[in-house]
């Protein structure tokens, strides 16, 4: 194809558009008009929607740049590599022209476009079972809702498309930012529709790596919790709905107490298909050059072998001293999640949470780690947060204590008797936020936790209480209220500066 038009991310790659719109069709592409003919065609298209999640430019294992590296957990100390563009995220100096930002934007909307094509074309197919059709619709709406949820928290107001885009004129009509509240309405609609299906409660009853009612309830609960803290309106009702859906997800677990599942087992490649804490994960194929996971290899520090048989020549996954100091004495999660590399060219902590040093992964580091998007400790702490907002502190603390118990820590009540703990986490909100930080470190939740709990000015105030010495080369002094959101990529803004207006401060 020779041209791309306004909102290229809303157009299915290659041959989804009409011949009079594009100058030519890719002869190697499958023409969408001729594709959706059988149930299996739809299944493969739904698989393609899930496949979009695997990319590091989407929400897969390499997407830490767009979330975790924005936070106070990790980042990049090298401000010269790749023209310094990755460094901009953690340095709060990101430019609208940042090519990584544009790639993320485009990749996420490409995933949304895949979903829109399925939803627009599925009625062309005659199904042997209406329930099967409903299941594929539910899976597709779940993926679309998940992608929009990630995008709206990062960029705020967004273009919204829920149908396949087939012409330049249609693309032009959709090329404008709609308010966050409108985007959230669509996310809620998608996830609520997805629940109205015959999807099983757990992925084990369907297929690992596909969604379930537990996953949908968990994300829907998180959506309402985020709406309650970030949108104007009836926050109490949003918190009530957050509690409702998170409770539903929690009730679908197939274990009793969290301490029945060792923390290390959650991330053990050998247990990824059976671990009862996992709710939804993006799958990778061990030993395969194209579809394997590289997270263990990429986090490996020079001179170390704990993550992978790959012989690293770098410093591994960056860990900020600010996080190292946030682990409480006796927290078993610390020694599993991070390690100090004494090599002279490292001499720092690196991430060890994701490991595959098996012979199957080999010295090339073609690991089998799945990327966990939702697990039960996450749901429990979100539910604790929702209950806290509803004034149900005692119920929130029960959930908090269960997570702390597995980590070998004292109860919240006992910890409050410790002067250091009490000074660092003076409120239940602070305690839950801390617990989420150390429980879910490097799992891409921290930035979202911060922006859910702090408004723009509070976020600035929070970061400016930190020590620069514990933060690395990225400059804490750079942060301003503009950094609550990312800028809209310059190319998108330039297409229509009025309707694709830039976020304030950029």
* pLDDT at residue 98, rounded to an integer: 97
* pLDDT at residue 30, rounded to an integer: 62
pLDDT at 221 > cutoff 60? yes
* pLDDT at residue 2, rounded to an integer: 31
Domain range list for the chain: 1-198+454-506
CA–CA dist 157, 5 (Å, integer)? 21
* pLDDT at residue 13, rounded to an integer: 35
**Strand runs labelled E in 115-233:** none
How does pLDDT run across 163-212, given as a tens digit for each residue? 999 998 998 899 999 999 999 999 999 999 999 999 999 999 999 999 99
pLDDT at 112 > cutoff 60? yes
CATH class of residue range 1-198+454-506: mainly alpha
CA–CA dist 93, 106 (Å, integer)? 21
* pLDDT at residue 219, rounded to an integer: 98
pLDDT at 23 > cutoff 50? no
Number of Cβ within 10 Å of residue 313's Cβ equals: 10
Record the tokens describing residue 378, joined without a space: 């996450």
Going by the DSSP 8-state scheme, the letter that residue 258 receives in this structure is: G
Lowest mean pLDDT, pick from 30-34, 45-49, 106-110, 158-162: 30-34
Nearest Cα neighbor of 104 from 496, 497, 502, 489 is 489
Nearest Cα neighbor of 74 from 505, 340, 473 is 473
Q: How confident is the model at residue 21 (pLDDT cuts 50, 70, 90)?
A: very low
Phi and psi at residue 441, to the nearest 5°: -50, 135
* pLDDT at residue 78, rounded to an integer: 80
- Please spell the DSSP secondary structure of 315-353, one letter per residue: --SB--HHHHTTSPTT-HHHHHHEEEE--TTT-EEEE-S
For the chain, helix (H) and strand (E) counts, in that order, are 20, 4
CA–CA dist 272, 204 (Å, integer)? 11
* pLDDT at residue 79, rounded to an integer: 77
Nearest Cα neighbor of 349 from 408, 294, 304 is 304
Contact call for residues 362 and 309 (beta carbons, < 8 A): yes
* pLDDT at residue 481, rounded to an integer: 98
Q: How confident is the model at residue 26 (pLDDT cuts 50, 70, 90)?
A: low
pLDDT at 105 > cutoff 90? yes
Record the tokens describing residue 441, joined without a space: 């470190």
pLDDT at 5 > cutoff 60? no
- Please spell the DSSP secondary structure of 279-323, one letter per residue: EEEE---TT-TTTSB-HHHHHPPTT--SS-SS---S--SB--HHH
What is the arithmetic mean of pLDDT over 41-59? Answer: 97
How does pLDDT run across 344-393, given as a tens digit for each residue? 999 999 999 999 999 999 999 999 999 999 999 999 999 999 999 999 99
246 by DSSP, 3-state: which? helix
Angle at alpha carbon of residue 282, lines to 310 and 14, rounded to 5°: 100
What is the arithmetic mean of pLDDT over 321-348? Answer: 97
CA–CA dist 173, 224 (Å, integer)? 29
pLDDT at 268 > cutoff 90? yes
Contact call for residues 398 and 412 (beta carbons, < 8 A): no
* pLDDT at residue 53, rounded to an integer: 97
Angle at alpha carbon of residue 503, lines to 502 and 506, rounded to 5°: 80
* pLDDT at residue 29, rounded to an integer: 55
CA–CA dist 377, 400 (Å, integer)? 9
Q: How confident is the model at residue 20 (pLDDT cuts 50, 70, 90)?
A: very low
- Go through 408-440 and write b for each residue having 16 or more CB atoms within 10 A of its CB, e for each that does not: ebbebeebeeeeebeeebeebeebbbbbbbbbb
Q: How many angstroms separate the Cα of 216 from the Cα of each of 103, 245, 277, 485?
A: 27, 9, 15, 25
* pLDDT at residue 10, rounded to an integer: 40
Mean pLDDT of all residues belonging to the chain: 93
pLDDT at 150 > cutoff 60? yes
């Amino acid at each position: 194809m020779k041209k791309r038009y306004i909102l290229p991310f809303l157009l299915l790659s290659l041959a989804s558009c009409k011949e009079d719109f594009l100058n030519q069709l890719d002869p190697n592409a499958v023409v969408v008009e001729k594709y959706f003919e059988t149930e299996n065609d739809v299944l493969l298209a739904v698989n393609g929607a899930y496949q979009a999640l695997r990319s590091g430019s989407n929400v897969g294992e390499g997407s830490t740049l767009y979330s975790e590296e924005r936070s106070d957990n990790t980042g990049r100390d090298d401000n010269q590599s790749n023209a310094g563009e990755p460094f901009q995220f953690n340095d709060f100096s990101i430019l609208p022209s940042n090519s990584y930002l544009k790639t993320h934007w485009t990749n996420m909307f490409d995933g949304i476009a895949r979903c829109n094509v399925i939803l627009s074309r599925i009625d062309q197919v005659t199904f042997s079972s209406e329930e099967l059709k409903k299941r594929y619709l539910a899976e597709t709406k779940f993926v679309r809702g998940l992608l929009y949820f990630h995008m709206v928290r990062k960029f705020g107001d967004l273009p919204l498309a829920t149908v396949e885009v087939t012409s330049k004129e249609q693309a032009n009509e959709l090329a404008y930012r709609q308010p966050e509240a409108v985007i959230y309405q669509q996310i809620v609609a998608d996830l609520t529709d997805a629940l109205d299906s015959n999807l099983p409660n757990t992925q084990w009853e369907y297929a690992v790596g596909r969604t379930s009612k537990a996953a949908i309830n968990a994300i829907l609960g998180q959506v309402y919790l985020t709406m309650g803290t970030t949108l104007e309106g009836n926050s109490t009702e949003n918190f009530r709905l957050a509690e409702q859906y998170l409770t539903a997800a929690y009730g679908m677990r197939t274990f009793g107490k969290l301490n029945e599942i060792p923390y290390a087992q959650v991330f053990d490649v050998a247990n990824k298909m059976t671990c009862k804490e996992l709710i939804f994960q993006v799958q990778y194929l061990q030993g395969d050059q194209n579809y394997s996971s590289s997270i263990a290899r990429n986090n490996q520090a020079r001179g170390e072998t704990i993550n992978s048989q790959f012989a690293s020549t770098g410093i591994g996954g960056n860990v900020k001293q600010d996080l190292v100091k946030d682990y409480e004495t006796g927290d078993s999660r610390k020694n599993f999640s991070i390690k100090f590399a004494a090599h002279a060219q490292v001499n720092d902590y690196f991430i060890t949470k994701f490991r595959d040093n098996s012979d199957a992964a080999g010295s090339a580091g073609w690991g089998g780690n799945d990327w966990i998007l939702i697990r039960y400790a996450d749901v429990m702490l979100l539910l604790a947060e929702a209950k806290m907002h509803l004034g149900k502190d005692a119920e929130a603390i029960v959930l908090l204590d269960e997570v702390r118990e597995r980590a070998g820590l004292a109860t919240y009540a006992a910890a409050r008797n410790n002067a250091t703990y009490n000074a660092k986490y003076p409120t239940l909100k602070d305690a839950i936020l801390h617990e989420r930080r150390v429980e879910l470190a490097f799992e891409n939740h921290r930035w979202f936790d911060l922006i859910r709990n702090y408004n723009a000015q509070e976020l600035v105030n929070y970061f400016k209480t930190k020590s620069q010495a514990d933060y690395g080369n990225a400059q804490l002094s750079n942060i301003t209220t503009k950094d609550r959101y990312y800028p809209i990529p310059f190319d998108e803004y330039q297409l229509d500066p009025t309707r694709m207006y830039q976020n304030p401060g950029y």
